[in-house]
Amino acid sequence: MKILVGIKRVIDYNVRIRVKTDGSGVDTDGVKMSINPFDEIALEQALRIREAGQAEEVIVVSLGGNECQQQLRTGLAMGADRAIQVDTSENLQPLTIAKAFLKVIEKEQAGLVLLGKQAIDGDNSQTGQMLAALWDRPQATFASGVELSGSTATVTREVDAGLETIEVDLPAVITVDLRLNEPRFVKLPDIMKAKRKPLEVIPLDELGAVSENDLQITQHAPPPVREKGIMVEDTAQLVAELKNRGLV
């Protein structure tokens, strides 16, 4: 079985986001870029499944320009067998990304697709669900536990009421949450080995996935500065202050 893992190049989660002075976007000059943390967890789970003898190959896939090859090489250094870059300079919306993933799935005949539940830049949490619908295969989202047995996967997922366990037939799409695992560290010898692993570049147009960017973001702005708090002497003063601010 082949496992397909989607990874996205995002600003590292430890970096403070800066908006350009003209509000046209986020400033990425000189900013550290990394694999989306949720996607890194998805890749770690795929590697564990392969190491348990339940899969033969793990393939990482990313959509973007040549700059995303850095993250693909990191995925290969973690242990993925192959990498595929769907080459595009456009800032794609989830539906187009899902359509492109579907073409790669059909090309590779994947038995399982693992994705992060969301990307930390857009926070859309839509690609996995759209992909499952287009592929007409089962989905399990927000997974905090994944176990494979033959042609089925048992997934523990986090819901508002607590934990829910479901069983889905493979092939399927699973999106993962932070509590699923802790990704491994990449070692220098693995980085050197990753340079010799295959990385295939496929233009988006050749996949036949038509870009449908109906949503355009025209303005970016930083969040408002948090007001400084005040110290109160007692409960009565606290209640009075809340009333003055119209909060109670």
* Residue 244, in any domain of the structure: no
* Residue 99, in any domain of the structure: yes
Which residues constitute the domain of residue 174?
2-221
Confidence band for 213, pLDDT divided at 50, 70 and 90 = low
> What value does the mean pLDDT take over residues 147-153?
93
* Residue 231, in any domain of the structure: no
Confidence band for 3, pLDDT divided at 50, 70 and 90 = very high
Is residue 107 pLDDT above 90, yes or no?
yes
pLDDT of residue 220: 84
Amino acid making up residue 85: Q
pLDDT of residue 168: 96
pLDDT of residue 230: 85
Is residue 219 pLDDT above 90, yes or no?
no
> What value does the mean pLDDT take over residues 154-172?
93
* Residue 158, in any domain of the structure: yes
The CATH number given to whatever domain includes residue 37 is 3.40.50.620
Q: Whole-prediction pTM value?
A: 0.85
> What value does the mean pLDDT take over residues 187-197?
92
Q: How far apart are CA 43 and CA 116, in angstroms?
A: 9
Total residue count of the chain as it appears in this document: 248
Q: How far apart are CA 209 and CA 183, in angstroms?
A: 31
Is residue 24 pLDDT above 90, yes or no?
no
Is residue 228 pLDDT above 90, yes or no?
no
Is residue 212 pLDDT above 80, yes or no?
no
Confidence band for 17, pLDDT divided at 50, 70 and 90 = confident
Residue 247 CB neighbours (<10 A): 8
Q: What residues contact 43, with CB distance under 8 A and at least 6 apart? A: 5, 7, 35, 58, 60, 75, 78, 80, 114, 183
pLDDT of residue 217: 79
> What value does the mean pLDDT take over residues 225-243?
88
Question: pLDDT tens digits, residue range 112-141?
Answer: 999 999 999 888 899 999 999 999 999 999
pLDDT of residue 158: 85
Q: How far apart are CA 30 and CA 170, in angstroms?
A: 42
* Residue 214, in any domain of the structure: yes
pLDDT of residue 29: 84
* Residue 100, in any domain of the structure: yes
* Residue 232, in any domain of the structure: no
Q: Considering its fold, how many domains does the chain have in total?
A: 1
Least confident of 13-27, 30-44, 78-92, 171-185: 13-27
* Residue 227, in any domain of the structure: no
